[in-house]
Amino acid sequence: MVRIRLPSGEYRECRRAERLIDCLPEGVGLIARVDDKLLDLTAPPPEEGEVEVLGFDSREGREAYWHTSSHILAQAVKELYPEAKLGIGPPIEEGFYYDFDIGGEVFTPEDLERIEAKMREIIARNLPLRRVEMPREEAIKLFQEREEPYKVELLEEMEESVSLYWQGEFVDLCRGPHLPSTGHVRHVKLLSSSSAYWRGLETNPVMQRIYGVSYPEEEMLRRHLERLEEARRRDHRVLGARLDLFSIQEECGAGLILWHPKGAMLRKVVADYALGEYLKRGYQLVSTPHLARGQLWETSGHMGYYIENMYVFEKGGERYVIKPMNCPFHILIYKTKTRSYRDLPIRYTELGTVYRYERSGTLHGLMRVRGFTQDDAHIFCTPEQLEEEIVGVLDLTLHILRTMGFQEFKVVLSTRDPEHPERYMGTEEEWRRAQEALMRALRRRGLPYEEAPGEAVFYGPKIDIKLVDAIGRTWQCTTIQIDFNLPRRFNVTYVGPDGREHLVVMIHRALLGSLERFVGVLLEHYAGNLPVWLSPIQVRVLPISDKYVEYASEVYERLKAEGVRAELDDRGLTIAYKVREAEEEKIPYMLIVGRREVEAKTVAVRRHRVGDLGQLTLEEFMAKIKAEIEEKA
């Protein structure tokens, strides 16, 4: 007898059956979980124990739904374009994609319509998905016969036994799990196509990648498409150009940001606020070079495992590295003195610009770049201080992110894989203490979190905090990492109460992540309508005609003298045109001056997206905007 937990939370019992799906009400569930293993519903139930059936409302269920959809996409393409060669087709955060080699051609919008129609036809066939396990060599022979070189390449790197999934005459290499049949996918939409290098390497063939999404209910698909349209409207690349904030130019290089005056001011406001909060909480400001001798990166280990992402060059017979990270520099500063336990914790912070070689296909506006500035910090503490330091970092993070306008977060605690301790630095006791310290800190702050076993980096466990923006998307910004590796490599110690040297516990933390990425997230979160305190230009003064420019200039100079970021638009254009332009540029306040304002020594106040607020004296307006800026409203 097997106990089954349905997606609704109800339980039912099932006697021995050939397939799990035979134990379920019709149409209930997508895949199953037994212990930590995910299974197809067409798999046999276990001999005993409990089975959890997962639906679309679970992450695993959605991934299986979208993964099956990607197989349907691949089958549709093969039926329409028999010469197409299959790449890979995983589920992604919201949907799926599949890569195809179609001999240098590209998919047109009309092609996508035909492929989508063919997918609906395959769904209507309700083809069962059948899992088959076989020796790797047998699978290689199968895909060689089917002239699928990319599948053969993947198979040659795999273990001796592999799994395939058949649906009708179509077969794909896949670990699964999958839905029972193609008919379980209801509503599908292909979104776009683009070029992508096979396996992300520029030296590999160019594939055509088709993106799509699917949902069990038509209304869910409609809402998703509306969110995508809203996301396009908020695209920071479009806003950056429209608001004259930044550019990326071929003459400079891919992934390198040129900040224009308004963008540089926005970046400065964000950086100054964050840095001011760090200094209030006991961080010490440091500044380090943009490059260092190669030997430093040998010691840190980056030369061994990260060199493909680094810019390395030789000068004067010596090898140098343009820094990809700030941590080795902060360690060198720490090591200039002998440190006592009484000196700890020591918290170094830096707005450190780093450079990493990212593949061209991964670059994306401000979100993925090759040169960026981190709000980086490294904390050196004793094991006994670790939990309090993590609590302090969490408090600081939530304070800053909430001030910036984010209220919802998703927290992930990445821990060591207990099955493979050999993959990680540090002792079992160090990992236990570190992971427990992170868990206790999260619980003390009442932060719900998802634990991700096996997702820790090799040098220590970590907490990642993802922001949820105004339209429900998540953005990875904050990371808090414990490091057992660098303290050992550099022998970073303190003298304890026993008079002996002990290795420090080192915490890496970046709260905004990178200024580039965070500014991009801010622009998309606010759709460019930044609050007054963040806006690079807070006020624009608009004289109605040349006769009032003198008074408008007095208003402008007074605003500047009071620290308000202001502009004067004294062009000989109509006031309607100047107001419309200021609205398009999303300037929070417009001060319009004409005859009445000159005579009364007032300003006519207009608020972006609100409209006219009436006449105020300059003192009244100054008090109003200063309060907004001070309160960071």
H, E, C per residue of 180-197: CEHHHCCEEEEEEEEEEE
Flag whether pLDDT at 17 surpasses 80.
Answer: no
What are the Cα distances from residue 339, in Å, to 226, 377, 379, 488?
57, 18, 13, 16
Measured in degrees and rounded to the nearest 5, phi and psi for residue 363 equal -70, 140
CA distance 633 to 631: 5
CATH superfamily entry for domain 60-227: Threonyl-trna Synthetase; Chain A, domain 2 (3.30.980.10)
Q: Which residues are catalytic?
A: 327, 356, 374, 376, 378, 462, 508
Task: Confirm whether pTM is higher than 0.75.
Answer: yes
CA distance 447 to 451: 12
Selection from 616, 572, 567, 615 nearest residue 588 by Cα: 567
Contacts of 487 (CB under 8 A, 6+ apart): 493, 503, 504, 505, 506
pLDDT for 104-127, tens place per residue? 899 999 999 999 999 999 999 999
pLDDT of residue 26: 85
60-227 and 539-631 share one fold:
no
Please check whether residue 1 is in contact with residue 47, taking contact to mean a CB–CB distance below 8 angstroms: no
pLDDT for 308-366, tens place per residue? 899 999 999 999 999 999 999 999 999 999 999 999 999 999 999 999 999 887 889 99
Q: How confident is the model at residue 421 (pLDDT cuts 50, 70, 90)?
A: confident
Please check whether residue 465 is in contact with residue 411, taking contact to mean a CB–CB distance below 8 angstroms: yes
Specify the pairing of strand 539-543 against strand 566-568.
parallel
CA distance 35 to 5: 12
Residue 294, token pair as written in the block: 């190669």
pLDDT for 23-46, tens place per residue? 888 889 999 999 888 999 999 888
Q: How confident is the model at residue 189 (pLDDT cuts 50, 70, 90)?
A: very high
Domain range list for the chain? 2-55, 60-227, 246-288+326-524, 539-631
Please check whether residue 86 is in contact with residue 74, taking contact to mean a CB–CB distance below 8 angstroms: yes
Please check whether residue 312 is in contact with residue 321, taking contact to mean a CB–CB distance below 8 angstroms: yes
Flag whether pLDDT at 229 surpasses 90.
Answer: yes
pLDDT for 147-186, tens place per residue? 999 999 999 999 889 999 999 999 999 999 999 999 999 9
Number of other CB atoms surrounding residue 405 within 10 Å: 16
Higher pLDDT: 590 or 457? It is 590
Residue type, position 613, single letter: L
Contacts of 610 (CB under 8 A, 6+ apart): none
Region 294-299: what's the mean pLDDT? 95
pLDDT of residue 3: 84
Please check whether residue 517 is in contact with residue 523, taking contact to mean a CB–CB distance below 8 angstroms: no
The answer regarding whether domain 539-631 maps to CATH 3.40.50.300 reads no
CA distance 115 to 125: 15
Residue 503, token pair as written in the block: 């290795």
Domain 246-288+326-524 fold is: BirA Bifunctional Protein; domain 2 (3.30.930)
pLDDT of residue 45: 85
DSSP 8-class letter at 461: -
CA distance 148 to 117: 24
pLDDT of residue 518: 97
What are the Cα distances from residue 82, in Å, to 79, 140, 198?
6, 19, 19
Flag whether pLDDT at 477 surpasses 90.
Answer: yes
Three-class secondary structure of residue 587 per DSSP:
coil
CA angle 480–481–483, rounded 5-degree value: 155
